Each structure stands twice: as structure tokens, then as C-alpha cells.
Amino acid sequence: MTSSELWSRETAERYDAEEAGNSSAAALEPTLAFLAALADGGRALEFAIGTGRVGVPLRERGVPVTGIEFSPHMAAVLRRKVDEETLPVVIGDMATTVVPGGFTLVYLVYNTLTNLLTQDEQVECFRNAARHLEPGGRFVVELGVPPLRFLPPGQVAVPFDVSEGHLGFDTFDLVDQLLVSHHLTRDGADGRYRRDASRHRYAWPAELDLMARIAGLALERRVADWDGSPFTQDSAKHVSVWRKPA
């Protein structure tokens, strides 16, 4: 059984509205171009496809996409956009669920790897990606770099958004390599705020490279964002590409 927390129906119903800024054609173009190039005319498998923010427009670009999604509520929202024949989705966890066929691309975006709360499960996720890849295929992960250097001495919280409609901050358990992402979101015209929190296991790029090696994959490329900008010590996130030997 996966340690991932199950996204509720309520969360799934408001997800697209809350992520509208990250879902526009302009915002998604670098992501779609990056993934379509790596798919190279083959099939793509998206782990944790959610409501199809990336998978649906990638399919519209001509890449055959299949999805694995742990939350049936998120998958139900996706199904309103596209039918099962056009974009198949299997309900299950991304660490162990197997779908038929081989893929030239498996991808996992938007920090979703951290939904797996143990190192063992994250390793199994890499193994599952390798299991689905054809020889020469690639596994792509988009993941934030843990912002631990921003922690003042003796503190465990780092804010990542302070705006009129939203306050977001992460609290860190440095022993177990876990974080809790806290959100206070203005909800409605009466000025009330909704509070949400989710647990995650953060991981450094070097740890992911070791997970990939365990799964038989080798690092091919690491960049700071989907536009291909160089990854440096100041990068807040990375997009990493591991390749299965041909």
C-alpha cells in the first residue's frame, strides 16, 4: 500500500481553478515541447496524471499518452475532458501499478514524486518507470530543490508564497527528510481562509541519481526548468532525464 495521501473529491474539483496560471497554453508550452521531443514519436506514460493538466494537451499535440492516477476523484475530472479510448488512465499508485505495453517516455511532473513518503517507495517508483520503458527510453522528473539553506538557525519553516489571496509555507522534519506544505487560501468573498496541509518526502538530485542507478537508468541531462536553462547551485528546481540503456 502506498503512503501517498489520497486527494479528495473536494480538492479534485477545485484543482484546475487553483492551477489555472500553470495551465495556460503559454505556461505549458516549454513543458509540452520538452516532453514531445523526448517521446520522439513513441508512447508516453504519465505517473500521477491528476486532472490531465499536462497529459491532455500533450495528447492533443499528437503524443499517445496513458496515465496512472492514485485518486479516482482526480481521474474523474480528467475524464470530463477526454474519453478513455483517447487517453487511458489506470487507477493505482505510481510505485507498483503496471500498464500494458512499452513506452519511450515516462514522466512525473510538479513535485509529485514527493507524495511517496518513504525512500523505498521512491526507489520503487524509479523501478516502475524502468519497467515500462523500452530500451533507450527516458524517465523525466520535475522536482524542487529542498530549500534548507533558507532555514534560519533553530527554525523549521520556510515561506514560499505570501500574497493577498494565499499564504504558503513548508515545515521540515530534518531527521526523517519530510516536509509539510501548509496553505492558507482566501476562500470566498467574506474574507475567510481555507487551511490545507500535505505531507511530502523531499530528496536531493544526487539521491535521485542513485535511485535511478538502482533501477538501471543513467542520468542523461539535468536542467533548471523546462526551457533548458542551466542547472546551478542557485536553482530552485530541476528537470532531470534518465535513460534506459539501448
pLDDT, tens only, 36-67: 999 999 999 999 999 999 999 999 999 999 99
C-alpha to C-alpha distance for 77 and 238, rounded to whole angstroms: 28
pLDDT category at 204 given cuts 50, 70, 90 is very high
Query: The whole model's pTM is what?
Result: 0.93
Contact (Cβ atoms closer than 8 angstroms) between residue 66 and residue 99: yes
C-alpha to C-alpha distance for 10 and 38, rounded to whole angstroms: 34
Mean pLDDT, residues 124-130: 98
pLDDT at 1: 58
Q: Is the pLDDT higher at 154 or at 6?
A: 154
C-alpha to C-alpha distance for 146 and 160, rounded to whole angstroms: 12
pLDDT category at 229 given cuts 50, 70, 90 is very high
C-alpha to C-alpha distance for 23 and 27, rounded to whole angstroms: 6
181 contact partners, CB below 8 Å, separation of at least 6: 168, 169, 170, 197, 198, 199, 200
C-alpha to C-alpha distance for 21 and 16, rounded to whole angstroms: 9
Buried residues in 8-39 as b, exposed as e (16+ CB within 10 A): eeebbeebbeeeeeebeeeebeebbebbbebb
Question: Which residue's entry shows cell 508512447?
Answer: 43
C-alpha to C-alpha distance for 71 and 4, rounded to whole angstroms: 10
What the block records as the C-alpha cell of 142 is 520535475
pLDDT at 218: 98
